[in-house]
Chains A and B, each alone.
Chain A
Amino acid sequence: MTTFVDTLKTFYETEPDRPSVTLQHPGQPDFTITYRELIERANDYAAAYARAGIKPGDVVILILQHGRDLVYSFWGAVLHGAIPSMMPFLTEKLSPERYRSDLTTLFTHSRPTGIVTYPEFETDVKTMVTESGHTVRDVFVTDRIEKQETVDFASLSGMKRDEGETVLLQHSSGSTGLQKGVALSHRAIFNHLDAYGEAIRLTRDDVIVSWLPLYHDMGLIACFILPILRGVHVIQMSPFDWVRAPYRMLQTISSYHGTLTWLPNFAYNFCAQRIRDRDLEGVNLSSWRASINTSEPVKFKSHQVFYERFKGFGLRLETLQTSYGMAENTFAVTQNDLDKLPCVEEIDRESYITDKIARPAHDDRPSIQMMSCGQPISNTSIRVVDDQGHDLPERHVGEIVLKSNCMLNEYYNRPDITKQAFLPGGWYKSGDYGYVVNNEVFVAGRKKDLIIVGGKNVYPQDLEALACEVSGVHPGRTVAFGLFDEDEGTEEVVIIAEVETDDESEHERIAGDIRKHVTKNSAIALRHVRVVGPGWVLKTSSGKVARAANKEKFIKELAASQ
């Protein structure tokens, strides 16, 4: 039996000076945390949690940004046997009121007993706790964590946890996502690291480079848990710094001889378009053995533009790989064989849309290009099923369902939705559509409407509700959807709102108000905001907004206007 704490203890005793995490902050020297430092400072947090009466098995919410306190407070919770969960930090574009209501949602469902935050945020957090966090025993402020002299593993309550017990919670962003904490056990995560480590042939010589946020599975599992528990050095920068200076990731790969990255599809386009040669002087990417594209639909065109842009800097085409994953399976479900390029095929568009069969394209008929996400990792089985849960043949598009030894324990405190998530026999319903050819998994879209923008999942109903709050907008007559933009390599968010007037200048004004209101309350940037006159928005016979039909209408009008 092994738990996270057993593994940390081994590192502490056998390789305390091994570098674990290097944190980068612009304008500052890189800060490297060894296993000794990581465990000793985490132990400070563990002691603080214990003193405050946080019990093993309690949830501790971390409201922190990229930095050492996030690392220490997380592992401190693990050492104490508490369950850490990271909450996205308040950004300047999100309104404090909305953030407060998101936290309330999180408090209601996760029932945390501890919260960790910065001194600047202490008053705000305490107010929110008084209003809604009735279970919270203490707010821990980063500058008031007392240093401990020694680490005594025997006295840590984390040593007494069972490997089947929940070790961490993952929430996806947005108010809907905060209602579902994915609870993963020590055992599930170790099983995943075994199977996934084998799929990517992980060794201790690997160096991982990441700018991914840690509240998302790709950042948390692949670029935080996996390297720390496997003795692999990880170099991390903040997503806020990366988005302003995407070249930094390439400079870091070059200077640290980085071997592995995980990136959402849009990042390939973003880097290819927005990095200038002057920022790449002396950059050599030849150490980079795999950059794994996952978390939003994977596009071969994005790989092509990225490769063309950076091949002169030592990038190999084989470095660009794919995977398909979800937090409920810890992280990865599939991984492409790193020795091969991901399989790319053209399928017949009409057959795909009308028959839901991905037939290879022939002659000059319109086609859709698909790229495989690879094969299921060794501990995970998948099936593609129809609406009744019956298996579908190869090339037929259906829902991907999976079974493995690295599944979630539950959606935390939500037995209702946990039960609904599985088919009989323990097959988890992913909610993703896809098809299989020769064991290669192609992912084709979402069962429910979900917009994936820049690697972030957004529920359209959340955005529609926000747009309805804007003065002048007809209640119940807003539509939100994603529109794939090939140049950007991701979906862009479109909102259509119906108003009472046909006055064009009034439309422009309301569009501006919607953009501000929705962005401030969701932290999602809108690309097209279209305000339309009475009667534009199409509804179903039952009076619901018909997203697909409105999307089609919008696309037609957009094409006609260009």
Chain B
Amino acid sequence: MSEEMQKQLSDFIAAKILKQPKRVIQPAEALISGGVIDSFSLVDLALFVEDTFGVRIADSELNANTFDSIEQLSNLIIARQKK
């Protein structure tokens, strides 16, 4: 479940944000602090998460303190899905 989710997130970021569809994002790779995702794309990621996994990420959470990797993001999504 988590692995499938991580793959979906990786595919979305590679194809839609980085426009390098072949690129695989490692689960622990630093997305925000590492300069992979810029602030303009954070809203896109939040909207993708909401549409795909039914979980809302508030705009105040769109920073490296809440999640900075696919692993952290998928943990956050799973925790919220259980609620």
A residues adjacent to B (C-beta < 8 A):
26-27, 92-93, 240-241, 243-246, 270, 274, 276, 454, 508, 511-512, 515-517, 519-520, 525, 527-529
Say whether B76 faces chain A, with CB atoms less than 8 Å apart.
no
**Pairs A–B under 8 Å by Cβ, sample size 8:** A93-B33, A93-B35, A93-B39, A244-B42, A246-B43, A454-B40, A515-B36, A525-B38
* A244-B39 contact given A92-B64, A508-B20, A527-B19, CB 8 Å threshold: yes
What residue of chain B has the Cβ atom nearest to residue A266's Cβ?
A: B40
CA distance A26 to B19 in the complex (A): 31
Report B-chain residues with C-beta under 8 Å of the C-beta of A274: 43-44, 47
Report B-chain residues with C-beta under 8 Å of the C-beta of A454: 40
Say whether B18 faces chain A, with CB atoms less than 8 Å apart.
yes
Say whether B8 faces chain A, with CB atoms less than 8 Å apart.
no
Q: Establish whether residues A525 and B43, one from each chain, have CB atoms under 8 Å apart when the complex forms.
A: no
CA distance A162 to B23 in the complex (A): 59
Q: Establish whether residues A241 and B40, one from each chain, have CB atoms under 8 Å apart when the complex forms.
A: no
Report B-chain residues with C-beta under 8 Å of the C-beta of A508: 20, 22-23
In angstroms, how far is the closest chain B Cβ from the Cβ of A6?
40
In angstroms, how far is the closest chain A Cβ from the Cβ of B72?
15
In angstroms, how far is the closest chain A Cβ from the Cβ of B8?
20
CA distance A527 to B36 in the complex (A): 10
**Per-residue contact bits, chain B 15-59, to A (CB 8 Å; 1 contact, 0 not):** 000111011000000001111101111111001000000000001
Report A-chain residues with C-beta under 8 Å of the C-beta of B23: 508, 511-512
**Which listed residue (B20, B22, B36) contacts A516, Cβ 8 A?**
B36
Q: Establish whether residues B32 and A92, one from each chain, have CB atoms under 8 Å apart when the complex forms.
A: yes
What residue of chain B has the Cβ atom nearest to residue A278's Cβ?
A: B56
Q: Establish whether residues A240 and B39, one from each chain, have CB atoms under 8 Å apart when the complex forms.
A: yes
In angstroms, how far is the closest chain A Cβ from the Cβ of B69?
14
A-B contact count (CB 8 A): 57
Report B-chain residues with C-beta under 8 Å of the C-beta of A240: 39
Kindly list 13 other residue pairs between chains A and B, CB separation below 8 angstroms, not including A276-B47, A508-B23, A519-B35: A92-B33, A93-B39, A240-B39, A241-B59, A243-B40, A244-B62, A246-B43, A270-B40, A512-B23, A516-B36, A520-B34, A525-B40, A525-B41
What residue of chain A has the Cβ atom nearest to residue B68's Cβ?
A: A92
B residues adjacent to A (C-beta < 8 A):
18-20, 22-23, 32-36, 38-44, 47, 59-60, 62-64
* A93-B47 contact given A244-B39, A525-B38, CB 8 Å threshold: no
Q: Establish whether residues B34 and A529, one from each chain, have CB atoms under 8 Å apart when the complex forms.
A: no
Q: Establish whether residues A528 and B19, one from each chain, have CB atoms under 8 Å apart when the complex forms.
A: yes
Report B-chain residues with C-beta under 8 Å of the C-beta of A246: 43
Q: Establish whether residues A519 and B22, one from each chain, have CB atoms under 8 Å apart when the complex forms.
A: no
Report A-chain residues with C-beta under 8 Å of the C-beta of B33: 92-93
Q: Establish whether residues B35 and A243, one from each chain, have CB atoms under 8 Å apart when the complex forms.
A: no
CA distance A245 to B23 in the complex (A): 28
**Which listed residue (A27, A92, A527, A528) contacts B60, Cβ 8 A?**
A27
In angstroms, how far is the closest chain B Cβ from the Cβ of A310?
17
CA distance A521 to B35 in the complex (A): 10
Q: Which 8 A-B pairs have the closest CB atoms?
A: A525-B38, A519-B35, A245-B59, A244-B59, A244-B62, A516-B35, A520-B35, A243-B39
Report A-chain residues with C-beta under 8 Å of the C-beta of B63: 92
In angstroms, how far is the closest chain A Cβ from the Cβ of B47?
7
Q: Establish whether residues B20 and A511, one from each chain, have CB atoms under 8 Å apart when the complex forms.
A: yes
In angstroms, how far is the closest chain B Cβ from the Cβ of A315?
20
What residue of chain B has the Cβ atom nearest to residue A504's Cβ?
A: B22
CA distance A92 to B65 in the complex (A): 11
CA distance A520 to B19 in the complex (A): 19
In angstroms, how far is the closest chain A Cβ from the Cβ of B64?
6
What residue of chain A has the Cβ atom nearest to residue B20's Cβ?
A: A511
Report A-chain residues with C-beta under 8 Å of the C-beta of B62: 244
What residue of chain A has the Cβ atom nearest to residue B23's Cβ?
A: A508
What residue of chain A has the Cβ atom nearest to residue B46's Cβ?
A: A244
CA distance A551 to B5 in the complex (A): 37
CA distance A285 to B23 in the complex (A): 42
What residue of chain B has the Cβ atom nearest to residue A241's Cβ?
A: B59
CA distance A352 to B44 in the complex (A): 36
Report B-chain residues with C-beta under 8 Å of the C-beta of A243: 39-40, 42-43
Q: Establish whether residues A26 and B22, one from each chain, have CB atoms under 8 Å apart when the complex forms.
A: no
What residue of chain A has the Cβ atom nearest to residue B60's Cβ?
A: A26
In angstroms, how far is the closest chain B Cβ from the Cβ of A30?
16
